[in-house]
Amino acid sequence: MRYLHILDFFNRPFSKQKNIRLLRWGVLFFYLVNNVQLCFMLDISYGAGRISPPLGQDGISNYALNLLDQGGVVMAICMMILLMLCLFGALITSYKRTFTFVAFFAAANLTNSTYLLNSGGHHLMLLVLFFLCFVNEKKVEEGSWSNAINKGALLAIQIQICLVYLVSALYKILGDVWLEGAAMWHSLMLQEYSLPIIYNNIPDSNLILMIMTYFAIAYQFLFPILIWISATRKWVLILGILMHLMIAFVFGLFSFGVAMIICYFSFYIPKLQFSFGNRSIE
Amino acid sequence: MEQKKHPYIKGLLIVSFLFVHFVITYFYVAPDEFNVNGLKQLSGNYIKPVFHQGWSLFAPELPEYNVDVAYRTDSTAQWHEFSACYLKNHHKFRVTHHGRISIGISNVARGAVWEISGNHERQEDQILLKEMVRKLAGINDGGSVEIRLSAKSVKTGITKYFEY
């Protein structure tokens, strides 16, 4: 019975408003970039020349989240505008849950019908958006349901990120190329996940790349543990940001790299302090 | 009153929901070696519609080939490079849509190489790649298209060609 006291966590007032606010800004940035990208490929995403075949799912998913399964440029543009308005509405108004829910609906429809052109980042952002539907950081009355749900939703985002790392690590230890330490070299030799200056010049046995391979496996296994320890959290996230910047700009998976960095706001808020003469701004 | 009587009910319900949700998610995304076969199938019913995800990029094994795609609309005509221009733009402009197209083409092209080289009955990726070429290159639906795949091994540097 004494372990039930742990559950009191859900009664105490929600105090991660800044984390949620930055997460919301991050999601807005992600979909802003995504929508700009989609504007340049409207025809192949939603028009007559669309290249992702229909998903053809049944049930609720088909009627609510796959409305663009058969394409539709005008509808896609409406969804993009709706998405941006709702994400912004969730930031500046009190109707955070309603706006985020509508934003999730629009984002899911836009994402599901372009699945051949998506990365893991698109799936991750959708999941974050789904859990954000339950958060209203302005309703944090101690002991209330709203407060408890806020806490549960943020915890869900954090667990989801841990699961991403854990599952990625499990897949990696099954591959010989990862256990031999050659995976980073091999990845950088793949044209679309590298740059010509890299794949034309790197030697096939490179100690740094081997260390980076083992680092990636170790990081992914240890993240779900070390992120919960306050002494290691900051350093885990700094290393993670470096790794995901590399994924975004060297491997060319911009949406995935950025999505992961945005998710880090659920764990930690960097304290930035600027001084102007006698005044300091935090 | 209710709060005093059952102060932990909210926490208990939320923790129970999160536990069930993430256990099901784990069974959906975890590799077969760390999974229970029946549960993987079952979890799909819950996860696929709203929570679909997959975290096995570059693992367990990495793609063995760099695949270039070329096409022609007549068996006597010259081959036109198809994937190279998207790849070049992807290298030049990192944050733009070119990367998504280039990676999309490569994924399907690798699938097509796997289907042809392994003599698999499956032809989905070959058909899909043909459709992609048709649409991206602006070829009429009725017009014939031939595809040439050049698969260059990452390890040995040897290139194999496949046409269909």
CA distance linking residue A210 with residue A99, whole number of Å: 46
| Residues of B with Cβ-Cβ distance to A192 under 8 angstroms | 87, 90, 99, 102-103, 106
Closest CA to A80 of A52, A41, A51, A124: A41
Partner-chain contact A116 B108, CB within 8 Å: yes
Residue B101 to chain A, least CA–CA distance (Å)? 6
Q: How distant, in Å, are the alpha carbons of A79, A101, B90 from that of A248?
A: 26, 28, 12
CB neighbour class for A281 (10 Å; exposed up to 12, middle 13-18, buried from 19): exposed
- Chain center to CA of A29: 11
Q: Where are the domains of chain A?
A: 14-172+227-281
Determine the residue type at A122: H
Per-residue confidence (pLDDT) for residue B76, from 0 to 100: 85
Asked if A4's CB is within 8 angstroms of B8's CB, the reply is yes
By the CB < 8 Å criterion, does B37 face chain A?
A: no
Give the confidence band of A62 by pLDDT, cuts at 50, 70, 90.
confident
SS3 B33: helix
Average pLDDT, chain A: 91
Evaluate if residue B2 carries a pLDDT over 60.
no
Helix (H, G, I), strand (E, B) or coil at B162: strand
Are B63 and A190 inside 8 Å of each other by CB? yes
Q: Do A156 and B21 touch (CB under 8 A)?
A: yes
Nearest CA in chain A to B61: A175
pLDDT at residue A94, rounded to an integer: 94
Per-residue confidence at B133, pLDDT binned at 50, 70, 90? very high
* pLDDT score for B1: 44
Bigger pLDDT: A5 vs B51: B51
ipTM of the complex: 0.91
For the stretch A155-193, pLDDT in tens is 999 999 999 999 999 999 999 999 999 999 999 999 999
> Taking 60 as the threshold, does the pLDDT of residue A21 lie above it?
yes
Cβ contact, residue pair B49, A57, below 8 Å: yes
Distance set, CA B152 to CA A42, A178, A239, B149, B158 (Å): 32, 21, 34, 10, 6
Q: pLDDT tens digit string along B96-130?
A: 999 999 999 999 999 999 999 887 788 899 999 99
B18–A contact, CB cutoff 8 A: yes
Domain boundaries of chain B, sorted by first residue: 2-51, 65-163
B50·A143 Cβ contact <8 A: no
State the DSSP H helix or E strand holding residue B72, giving kind and residue range, or none if neither. strand B65-72
**What is the percent of chain A where pLDDT is above 90?**
77
Q: What is the nearest CA distance from A87 to chain B, expressed in angstroms?
A: 19
